Amino acid sequence: PALAKLQMEAGDVGITCQKLGEVEVMADAGVADDILLTYNILGEAKTERLAALIKRLKRMAVVLDNETVARGLSDAGARHGVDIRFLIECDTGFGRNGVQSPQAALDLARETMRLPHMQFEGLMTFPTAKPEQRQWLERALQLLNGAGIPAPVVSGGGSPALKGVGDFPMLTEYRAGTYIYNDVMQVTAGAATWDDCAMTVRATVVSRPTEDRAILDAGSKVMTYEQYYAKGFGRIVEYPDAQVAGFSEEHGMVDLSASARKPKVGEVVSVIPNHCCVVTNMMDEIYGVRNGEVETVFPVAARGKVR
């Protein structure tokens, strides 16, 4: 929550969470009174928690992409006498959650608005990067406008695509998250430089079985197997020509064949992860370092809040 508070103090107007547990942590910490939950909420146990959060926050909105979710939310709203603000999640090409066409967005908005306690606010998608995604949103907004349905919120997102936000004039808000740390993925996408990467995993070289192989004490329990467009599984700051070639749970295997300099056993190195979001969720604490000194320690209070 401390880092979210810093962003709010810098001018953010709200935050986004993917899980109810994360929202609860942020609400308890008083981070923001405007929170968007960008995930389908299913089951009475979860909708009960959602209703409680809606009563606590000035503005709480959710997304949905199907009628089953909509009906469950409506039922919770009726039980607690609260209105559920919702956005239609749109799959504009990423192949994840979301309605599959602009017409489907209109149809679901209409159907859900007929349910009691459901308040339509607009559209949400991820990411917003390509012309065809802009065209998708433009068409959906045309259909909604033609049906007389206002869409005051059009929510886009994705840190790598933020530089092209000007190509999406219909957006009323943007959800950028990874930018606070940056990582190999961001650099590979051209959205950051190595100097912009604030998160590193401090790992120790525990073995040098061969001339061209080193073993780190940071494996898949610390790092991530996600690659996106990256080569390898992280960048070692002190040895940029080395390649983190793979992991087992407690071991990080480093290929040193292309590196003229090679680390010694016992040496501590800094590894920029491919995807900082996953690494954050595996840590209890994040150490804030300035000029080589630990200045503060941030507890990761939302770690493991996956329900």
Inform me whether the pLDDT recorded for 21 exceeds 90.
yes
Q: What is the pLDDT of residue 229?
A: 81
Confidence of residue 129 (pLDDT cuts 50, 70, 90): confident
| Mean pLDDT value of segment 90-119 | 98
Confidence of residue 48 (pLDDT cuts 50, 70, 90): very high
Question: 3-state SS of 37-48?
Answer: ECCCCCCHHHHH
Per-chain mean pLDDT for the chain: 97
Q: What is the DSSP string of the chain?
A: -HHHHHHHHTT---EEESSHHHHHHHHHTT--SEEEE-S---SHHHHHHHHHHHHHSSEEEEEE-SHHHHHHHHHHHHHHT--EEEEEEE-SSSSSSSBSSHHHHHHHHHHHHTSTTEEEEEEEES---SHHHHHHHHHHHHHHHHTT----EEEEE-GGGGGGGGG-TT-SEEE--GGGT--HHHHHTTS--GGG----EEEEEEEEEETTEEEES--TTTS----TT-SSS-EETT-TTSEEEEE-SS-EEEE-TT-SS-PPTT-EEEEE-S-HHHHHTT-SEEEEEETTEEEEEEE-TTTT---
CATH class of 184-274: mainly beta
Q: What is the pLDDT of residue 17?
A: 97
Looking at the structure, give the CATH architecture of the domain made up of residues 33-176.
Alpha-Beta Barrel (3.20)
Gap between the Cα atoms of 3 and 26, Å rounded? 11
> In Å, how far are 97, 136, 158, 161 from 131, measured between CA atoms?
20, 9, 15, 12
Inform me whether the pLDDT recorded for 128 exceeds 90.
no
Q: What is the pLDDT of residue 76?
A: 98
| Per-residue pLDDT tens digits for 233-291 | 999 999 999 999 999 999 999 999 999 999 999 999 999 999 999 999 999 999 999 99
Can you read off the two tokens belonging to residue 185? Answer: 């993925």
What number of other Cβ atoms are within 10 A of residue 241's Cβ?
12
Strands across the sheet containing 235-236: 235-236, 268-272, 201-210, 213-216, 252-255, 243-247
Global pTM value: 0.93
Cβ(195)–Cβ(252) below 8 Å: no
| Per-residue pLDDT tens digits for 188-245 | 999 999 999 999 999 999 999 999 999 999 999 999 888 888 889 999 999 999 999 9
Q: What is the pLDDT of residue 230?
A: 85
Can you read off the two tokens belonging to residue 7? Answer: 């962003």
CATH 2.40.37.20 residue spans of the chain: 184-274
Gap between the Cα atoms of 15 and 175, Å rounded? 8
Higher-pLDDT residue of 40, 164: 40
Inform me whether the pLDDT recorded for 27 exceeds 90.
yes
Q: What is the pLDDT of residue 227?
A: 85
CATH 3.20.20.10 residue spans of the chain: 33-176
Can you read off the two tokens belonging to residue 70? Answer: 């909509």
Inform me whether the pLDDT recorded for 98 exceeds 90.
yes
Of 104, 102, 101, 73, nearest to 86 by C-alpha is: 73
Gap between the Cα atoms of 145 and 154, Å rounded? 13
| Mean pLDDT value of segment 107-122 | 99
Q: Does residue 263 have a cis peptide bond before it, meaning omega lies within 30 degrees of 0? A: no
Q: What is the pLDDT of residue 228?
A: 81
| Mean pLDDT value of segment 102-106 | 99
